[in-house]
Amino acid sequence: MNDVHTREQEQNKDDEHVHEHVHRHMHTQHRHIHSNREKKAVINRLSKAIGHIEAIKRMIENDEDCSQVLIQLAAVRAAINNTGNTVLKNHISHCIVEAVEQGDTEAIKMLNNAIDMFVK
């Protein structure tokens, strides 16, 4: 898995976004790597959800059928959940793999807390 992760990092070197997190408890530092493609996909999904929410807002302003509003709200909720799943998969594939390689158990704790909050 380490070789695969390293090859992927090399392939995405030109279009990667790197940010560093310092975990205060362990005083470890690791890079979080997300390709511009991955980042753009999440931003596009969020932009579509924002547009959908604006459309729902107009539906309410125009006194449209409440059943249709609820259906559209369910669609937005599904879109947000799917976006969260994408972020989670990217985080595990990149950030958590690197954290595990560095023995950063705090990153695993933070991920577990985030998952708990996300699935509520």
Orientation angle between helical segments 66-90 and 105-118, nearest 10 degrees: 170
Average pLDDT of span 16-20: 43
Q: List pLDDT tens digits, range 49-77.
A: 999 999 999 999 999 999 999 999 999 99
% of residues, the chain, pLDDT over 70? 72
Distance CA 106, CA 27 (A): 10
Q: Is pLDDT above 80 for 25?
A: no
- Pick the residue with more confidence: 19 or 97? 97
Average pLDDT of span 14-35: 48
**What's the whole-number average pLDDT of the chain?**
80
| pLDDT for position 30 | 54
Q: What pTM value is reported for the model?
A: 0.67
